Amino acid sequence: MIHILAVAFSGKAAANANLVDFWPVDFTIDAFRKTFENRNFVNAMAISTIRTLLGTFIFLVLLLVTSYPLSKEQRSFKGRSLYIWYFVFTMLFSGGLVPSYMLMIKLGLNNSIWALVLPGAVDVFSLILMLNFFRAIPKELEEASLIDGANHFTTLWRVYFPLSLPAIATLALFTMVGHWNSWFDGMIYNTKAENYPLATLLQTIIVQQDFSKITMDPRALEDISNRTVKAAQIFIGALPILLVYPFLQKYFVKGVIMGAVKE
């Protein structure tokens, strides 16, 4: 990442001659300026931001309201095992890429943000992890909440949610990284380059070398190197997720569950 950043801040001649190591040569910010002047890049970054925030929010809501009842015992929630096996079946067997694509087309979700968000709204693996985490919470806390007059939604929000922050933060981070870095679904569900998320746009430009979707005036690249522009775009694409990690790091340690119930 340091090398990529150094290349992004280097001049055209030094970048093309591969003279940049870990410090910029002929320092310039033209690559970043040209990148942010590219309307398609800014639009793709906005789409990825909306997708990540919306997708993570929907994921967490569905994860909590699904894993909470499934964490109960069979006598408290009849048919629990049937529902769990239903979810597990979808994890082991899927319709495949072609039926999924046809479904998106039939529902009219292609070329929209919902085609990127809804297919992964419920992750069964995360669901299993979350319900097992809920089952480890002492039942006395829930019983005390219900005795005090709280309903199940209040118990979920006021008791289970605060105690589950480490698990929720970890799964939320994995989901955010998955949405931000996902490029394949953006490519197959979108036929217009202006609807591409950032990862799809970068994959098209950097891997496929298809510059038709960059919508940058060729004259704008006369004073800068393609390599510096690519480096700037890669660094900008990775930066948001790198900034999220420090804020969620404290939640990776175990929460306050142990010792919450005292005799």
Whether 175 and 252 map to the same domain: the answer is no
**Which CATH number does the domain housing residue 142 bear?**
1.10.3720.10
Task: Say how many domains are in the chain.
Answer: 2
- Domain termination residue (choose one: 187, 213, 239): 213
Residue 150 has pLDDT above 90, yes or no: no
Report residue 256 as tokens. Answer: 């306050």
> What's the rounded Cα separation, in Å, for the pair 20 and 170?
37
For residue 46, is it within any domain?
no
Whether 188 and 222 map to the same domain: the answer is no
**In this predicted structure, what is the pLDDT of residue 255?**
40
Whether 202 and 222 map to the same domain: the answer is no
Whether 26 and 107 map to the same domain: the answer is no
Number of CB atoms found within 10 A of residue 197's CB: 29
**pTM of structure:** 0.81
Whether 232 and 206 map to the same domain: the answer is no
**What is the tens place of the pLDDT at every residue in 34-88?**
888 888 888 889 999 999 999 999 999 999 999 999 988 888 888 888 998 999 8
**In this predicted structure, what is the pLDDT of residue 257?**
42
Residue 46 · residue 32 · CB < 8 Å: no
Residue type, 234: I
Q: Which residues, 6+ apart, have CB-to-CB distance to 137 below 8 Å? A: 159, 160, 163, 164, 257, 260
**In this predicted structure, what is the pLDDT of residue 48?**
92
What is the average pLDDT score of the chain? 83
Residue 253 has pLDDT above 60, yes or no: no
Residue 258 has pLDDT above 80, yes or no: no
Whether 59 and 114 map to the same domain: the answer is yes
Whether 209 and 232 map to the same domain: the answer is no
Whether 84 and 159 map to the same domain: the answer is yes
Residue 177's SS3 state is: helix
Percent above pLDDT 90 for the chain: 13
Question: Which whole-number Å values give the CA distances from 227 to 32, 75, 200, 207, in the listed order?
Answer: 12, 63, 18, 13
Q: What Rg, from alpha-carbon coordinates, does the chain have?
A: 23
Q: Is the dihedral of CA 36, 39, 45, 46 positive or negative?
A: positive
**What is the tens place of the pLDDT at every residue in 90-134?**
888 888 888 888 988 999 888 889 999 998 899 898 998 898 888
Whether 160 and 254 map to the same domain: the answer is no
Residue with tokens 């955010």: 176
Whether 18 and 130 map to the same domain: the answer is no
Whether 63 and 143 map to the same domain: the answer is yes
**What is the tens place of the pLDDT at every residue in 201-229?**
888 877 666 555 554 555 555 567 778 88
Residue 224's SS3 state is: coil
